[in-house]
Amino acid sequence: MENCAIVLAAGDGTRMKVPTAKVLLPVLGKTMVEWVLSAAKKAGIADCCLIIGRNHEDVRRQVGDEVEYAMQTERLGTGHAVMQATGFLERHRGAHCLVLAGDCPLISSETMKAAYQQHVDEQNAVTVISAHLENPFGYGRIVRDEQGGLSHIVEEKDATEEERAINEINSSAYWFEVDALLDALPRIKNDNVKGEYYLTDVVELALQHGRRAGAFAAKDSVEILGANTLQQLLSLQRAAQERIFEQHMKNGVMLTSTDGVLIGPDCSIGAGTVIHAGTRLTGRSYIGEECVLGPAAVVEDSVLGDGTTVVSSQIERSVVGTGVRIGPYAHIRPDCLIAEKVKIGNFVEIKNSKLGAGTSVAHLTYIGDADVGEGCNFGCGVVTTNYDGRQKYRTTVGDKVFIGCNVNLVAPVTLEDNAYIAAGSTITDNVPKDAFAIARARQVIKDNWVLTNKEE
C-alpha cells in the first residue's frame, strides 16, 4: 500500500483578518497550500487529501483535481479535520500517512523523508516533526518524559508555566501509521481550553495503547514556521526568501541589491545573470545565463534565453529568446513568443504575438494578435488594430517588412515579405511582397492662407 498525505486547510484563519482563505495567501508568489503540496509530491507522495472548509470553492479552483478533497463543515479542530478523511484513510490501511498543515508552507521534502525513515526505523505509530525555537510562543510544546521519550503535546493555551518554557515545538507535520491513526481518531476528546478536537492528542492515545511515539527534530527551524497572522506570514516569507537568494548566489547569480527583489521557489536562473533592485520573478520562470534583469523587471511564468536584458518591464506567461533587449517600460502580455535578438523598447505593449528574430519594435507601439517575421522594423507608434468591438483579428507580417511611424494595421491584414509601409498609413488591405504601400490623405498647401484668414 502506498503512503499518502492529508493536508489540513479548512481552518478559518480568523487571525489573518483578511477575506481570502488562509491557505491561499501567497508566500513569494505561491500559495501556502501549494508549497505544502509541492513538497509532499517531491517527497514521492502521490495520494493527497486536502481538508477544506470555508472558501472551499476558491481552494478547489486554485489547486485543481490533482488531489482528493474532504469537506469539514464545522471547524472543530485539527483532530476533527483529519476525521473527515476517514474514508481516504480506510483506503490506505497498512500504509503510513503524512499529515501536514496548510499554513506551514516551508517544510521540505528532505525533512519529510528523513522523518519517515526515523518513523519506520523506530516502528512508531506516530512521529511528530518538531523544532527548537527561540520564541516558541503560540505553538504546541513537545513534552518529554524523564527518559527523553515523547510524552505528549500541549497547546499554548492549555500549557502550564513550566510547559510554556519548553522551546521544542510541534510543527504540525506528522507521520502516522494509518491503522493506528484510524484507531485513535474516534477516541480524541475536546476537553481543553478551546473545546476543540486536537490531532496532537493522538500521541498520548497511541502511547496508552502500548504503541510507540517519537519526535523528529527538523534541522532547520525555518521549515516549520507557521503563519497564523500577517506578521508571521511576512516573516516566514523573508526567511524563505533569504534561503532562495543564498541558493541562487551559490549557483552564480549576482544580486546587486535585494531591495524589493522577490524570487519565487520555482524559478531557475542561469549562472552569470545579474539581478538589480525591484525585480520580481514568480511562478515557473526559467531565466538563462548572463541575463540582466532590472532594475524593476517583473517576470511571471516565463522563459528567457541567455543574454537577455529586461529593464523596468513586465513579462507574463511568454517565451523570450536569447540576446533580446526589453525595456525600459515595456509590457509583454501572455502568450508571446519572442525570438532571438529582438529589440522591444520604450512604451511597447505586445500580446498573444510572435516576433521573428532580429525584429525591432523600438517605441510607443502596440502589437496584439500578430505573427511577425524576422528582421522587421516597426517605427514609432505602430498599432495593430486587432479588435472591432466584437471580435479579435490577427495581423500577419512577413520577413524584413519596414513599417513607418504612426501606422495602423487594421486586422485581419497581411504584409508580405519585404513590404514597405509609409509613415502615417492606415493599412486595411494586404500588401504584396516587395511592394510599397501608402494610405494617407495627400498634403494640401494653400499659399498665403494665413494672411487672408487670420483674424487680427
Phi, psi (rounded to 5 degrees) for 381: 80, 35
- Which candidate, 364, 348, 341, places its Cα nearest to that of 315? 348
Interaction of residue 358 with Ca ion, rule CB under 5 A? no
Nearer to Ca ion, 5 or 304 (CB): 5
Interaction of residue 9 with ligand UD1, rule CB under 6 A? yes
Cβ atoms of residues 112 and 173 within 8 Å: yes
Interaction of residue 170 with ligand UD1, rule CB under 6 A? yes
Nearer to ligand UD1, 11 or 368 (CB): 11
Task: Dump the DSSP string for 353-411.
Answer: -EE-TT-EEEES-EEESEEE-SS-EE-TT-EEE-B-SS-B--EEE-SS-EE-TT-EEES
- Nearest-angstrom CA–CA distance, 355 and 344: 10
Q: At what angle do helices 56-63 and 32-42 cross, to 10 degrees?
A: 50
Phi, psi (rounded to 5 degrees) for 8: -85, 120
Cβ atoms of residues 308 and 320 within 8 Å: yes
Q: How far is the CB of 133 from Ca ion (least distance, A)?
A: 14
Applying CB under 6 A, which of residues 34, 103, 168, 301 lies at the interface with ligand UD1? 103
Cβ atoms of residues 37 and 66 within 8 Å: yes
Per CB under 5 A, which region of 207-215, 220-228, 269-277, 343-351 contacts Ca ion?
220-228
Cα four-point dihedral sign 351, 357, 359, 363:
positive
Q: How far is the CB of 100 from ligand UD1 (least distance, A)?
A: 8
Q: Which H helix or E strand runs over 117?
A: helix 109-121
Per CB under 6 A, which region of 112-120, 165-173, 314-322, 393-401 contacts ligand UD1?
165-173
Binding mask 62-101 for Ca ion (x = CB under 5 A): ----------------------------------------
Interaction of residue 288 with Ca ion, rule CB under 5 A? no
Q: How many CB atoms lie within 10 A of CB 296?
A: 20
Interaction of residue 237 with ligand UD1, rule CB under 6 A? no
Binding mask 225-254 for Ca ion (x = CB under 5 A): -x-x--------------------------
β-pairing, 26-27 vs 30-31, is: antiparallel
Interaction of residue 105 with ligand UD1, rule CB under 6 A? no
User: Any idea which residues carry the catalytic annotation?
Assistant: 363
Nearer to ligand UD1, 144 or 317 (CB): 144
Per CB under 5 A, which region of 129-137, 176-184, 202-210, 223-231 contacts Ca ion?
223-231
- Nearest-angstrom CA–CA distance, 115 and 112: 5
Interaction of residue 155 with Ca ion, rule CB under 5 A? no
Applying CB under 6 A, which of residues 49, 50, 102, 396 lies at the interface with ligand UD1? 102
Q: Is the peptide bond before 295 cis (omega within 30 degrees of 0)?
A: yes
Using CB atoms within 10 A of its CB, is residue 298 exposed (0-12), middle (13-18) or buried (19+)? buried
Applying CB under 5 A, which of residues 103, 300, 374, 399 lies at the interface with Ca ion? 103
Q: How far is the CB of 354 from ligand UD1 (least distance, A)?
A: 44
Could you say which of Ca ion, ligand UD1, none residue 77 binds, taking C-beta under 5 to 8 angstroms by partner kind?
A: ligand UD1
β-pairing, 213-217 vs 267-269, is: unpaired
Applying CB under 6 A, which of residues 29, 77, 295, 327 lies at the interface with ligand UD1? 77
Catalog residues that contact Ca ion under the rule CB under 5 A.
Answer: 103, 226, 228
Catalog residues that contact ligand UD1 under the rule CB under 6 A.
Answer: 8-11, 51, 72, 75-78, 80-81, 101-104, 139-140, 153, 155, 169-172, 198-200, 226, 228
